[in-house]
Amino acid sequence: MDLKVWKDTRIIQAEIDKYLDDGHDYINEAEIWDKLAKNQSPTKEQVRDILKKSLAIKNLSPDEVAALIHVKDPELIAEMKDTALKIKKKVYDNRIVTFAPLYLGNYCVNNCAYCGFKEVNTDAQRRVLNMEEIKKEVEILAGKIGHKRLVVVYGEHPKNDIDYIIDSIKAVYSVKAPTRRGFGNIRRVNVNAPPFSVADLRRLYEVGVGTYQVFQETYHRPTYERLHPANTIKGNYRWRLYCMHRALEAGFDDVGIGVLFGLFDWKFEVMSLVYHSWELEKKLGIGPHTISFPRIEPALHADLSKFDKYRVSDDDFKHLMLVIRLAVPFTGMIITCRESAAMKSEALSLGVTQTDASSKIDIGGYQIAATKQAEETQQFILGDTRTLDEQIRDFAQKGHITSFCTAGYRCGRTGQCIMDLLRTGQEGKFCKLNAVLTFREWIDDFASEETKRIAEPVLQKEIAEIKERMPDLYKKFLALYERIAAGERDLYI
Ligand code: SF4
């Protein structure tokens, strides 16, 4: 198909208009500024009442979120941190979920000012992996590193359109790679892709995608329009703003939203993320499964000095993670290898639940196993280049268990069901059991001797807790645990 025709047929206006309220979208700029202005000086009592509500795993109101954004008193910040940790413990216990990004192509028809993949960047080396190359990447990810979850990343271009995406996901799922004791495979493919129509999203859902992620980048419309030229597909603010509505309508249970922090005022963006979350709950009955908060990083031919005005300091970044944890207590929070190891470590104590590891973001990067980061083929520069083994060791040293569980998705504990289970603390039961089963599997198949030494006591502590707290499920759990220890794989409750 001619490229212009392809571009001109991407956006279906009726699939935007049907969700509008009297022609208005859900980002009411004036209202957001008003809430931020009115809640600049909350009292201690007000903040403590808000924290009680968060701890009861209830969504906060816009005024309450605005109030938390403005808290500066160190005593109250300490209380916010304490509450965030309690929420994390209540909903997710001491588990952390890991995944790897898999970039399959860097062709793109858009021209986002901050991105190295933009069409006008003629220095970028463009490439799309074919199915055999994809399988080779997955053999390394699932057979050598030990990942069970991927987020597969695509630019917007006919070379990686919906047909390519579907074929590539089938290729990912088809790989079963031998390991030390058993086999490794990818059990959940999440997708970070452009906004699609409902019809395309149905096809994507049917191929077995876990979470569909699209980040708005910035919710501030004038900034959005300045950074995303109007003559590009991405230049259409509302097509992107309503893609999660379409995904949920198409059958997806799990959707992931996010902001690229540093493009505009972080306070406005946090409020907008929360408004997006409420809108999805109100209109579609399901909030976002995850929220991501990448900070802008250097990229080839993307002059970051233009973004200095809204650069998010480390202190503000920690504060915004805290506010998100408290505002939407049941939602998963993802921090990526854009951030340093030290920041990721702090994020864990603020309630973050997922992170990537051993990440390569250049096309074919896992095969290249580049010793240096290849600027010409990657979207931005990474802050944390540690291996999965090193990160898991670090988590274990802090008492966290790494969960490779993908059972919830495969037994229907997703969407509204998972939200209810998370709100009531019930999901924790299944997660704890499956975290231990999958961690046993990972240690036996992939852990270095040093990591085994540190991770094994964490695992044994979890088993002791299961025995004590879940006597009804312990026998069933133990039977599966012993089968995994004997070399069987992919067993779950
Ligand atoms: Fe393309 Fe995404 Fe980069 Fe924009 S951010 S140029 S849409 S790859």
pLDDT tens across 424-470, in order? 555 557 788 999 999 999 999 999 999 999 999 999 999 999 999 99
Instruction: Note whether residue 66 is domain-resident.
Output: no
Average pLDDT of the residues in 409-432 = 62
Residues 132 and 209 in one domain: yes
Half-sphere exposure of 384 (CA within 13 A, CB side): 22
Residue 177's alpha-carbon distances to 181, 184, 215, 278, 480, in angstroms, are: 11, 5, 32, 41, 22
pLDDT tens across 249-265, in order? 999 999 999 999 999 99
DSSP code per residue over 203-226: HHHHTTEEEEE---B---HHHHHH
Residues 416 and 431 in one domain: no
Instruction: Note whether residue 54 is domain-resident.
Output: no
Residues 228 and 244 in one domain: yes
Give, using CA atoms, the residue closest to atom 6 of ligand 1. Answer: 118
CATH number of 168's domain: 3.20.20.70
The last residue of a domain, from among 387, 421, 455 = 421
Mutate which of 106, 107, 108 for ligand 1? The one with the most ligand atoms within 8 Å of its CB, which is 108
Residues 470 and 407 in one domain: no
Residues 188 and 161 in one domain: yes
Measured at the alpha carbon of residue 337, what is the angle toward residues 351 and 135, in degrees to the nearest 5?
A: 115
Which ligand 1 atom is at minimum distance from the Cα of 119? 6
The total number of structural domains that make up the chain: 2
| Domain membership of residue 456 as a residue range | 423-485
Residues 247 and 118 in one domain: yes
**Above 50 in pLDDT, residue 55?**
yes
Ligand 1 centroid to Cα of residue 111, in Å, is 7
Residues 127 and 184 in one domain: yes
Residues 172 and 276 in one domain: yes
Residue 197's H or E segment, with its range, is none
User: Can you list the alpha helix ranges (DSSP code H) found in 152-295?
Assistant: 162-174, 198-206, 221-227, 237-241, 243-249, 266-284
Instruction: Note whether residue 490 is domain-resident.
Output: no
Tokens 């929420």 found at: 87
Give, using CA atoms, the residue closest to atom 8 of ligand 1. Answer: 155
Instruction: Note whether residue 304 is domain-resident.
Output: yes
Instruction: Note whether residue 89 is domain-resident.
Output: no
Residues 384 and 477 in one domain: no
Instruction: Note whether residue 321 is domain-resident.
Output: yes
Residues 364 and 236 in one domain: yes
Give, using CA atoms, the residue closest to atom 7 of ligand 1. Answer: 110
Give, using CA atoms, the residue closest to atom 4 of ligand 1. Answer: 112
How does residue 483 score in pLDDT terms, banded at 50, 70 and 90? very high
The last residue of a domain, from among 421, 439, 457 = 421
- pLDDT of the residue at 123: 86
Tell me if residue 451 falls in helix, strand or coil.
Answer: helix
How does residue 370 score in pLDDT terms, banded at 50, 70 and 90? very low
Ligand 1 centroid to Cα of residue 30, in Å, is 28
Is the distance from CB of 304 to CB of 296 less than 8 angstroms? Answer: yes
Specify the DSSP class assigned to residue 250: T
Ligand 1 binding pocket, CB closer than 6 Å: 108, 110, 112, 115, 117-118, 155-156, 234
Instruction: Note whether residue 169 is domain-resident.
Output: yes
Residues 316 and 413 in one domain: yes
Instruction: Note whether residue 61 is domain-resident.
Output: no
DSSP code per residue over 98-155: EEEEEE-B---S---TT-TT-TT-TTS---B--HHHHHHHHHHIIIII---EEEEE--
Ligand 1 centroid to Cα of residue 108, in Å, is 6
Residues 270 and 350 in one domain: yes
Structure tokens at 219: 């919710």
Which ligand 1 atom is at minimum distance from the Cα of 228? 4
Give, using CA atoms, the residue closest to atom 2 of ligand 1. Answer: 155
Half-sphere exposure of 166 (CA within 13 A, CB side): 12
**Above 50 in pLDDT, residue 73?**
yes
Ligand 1 centroid to Cα of residue 109, in Å, is 8
Mean of pLDDT over the chain: 91
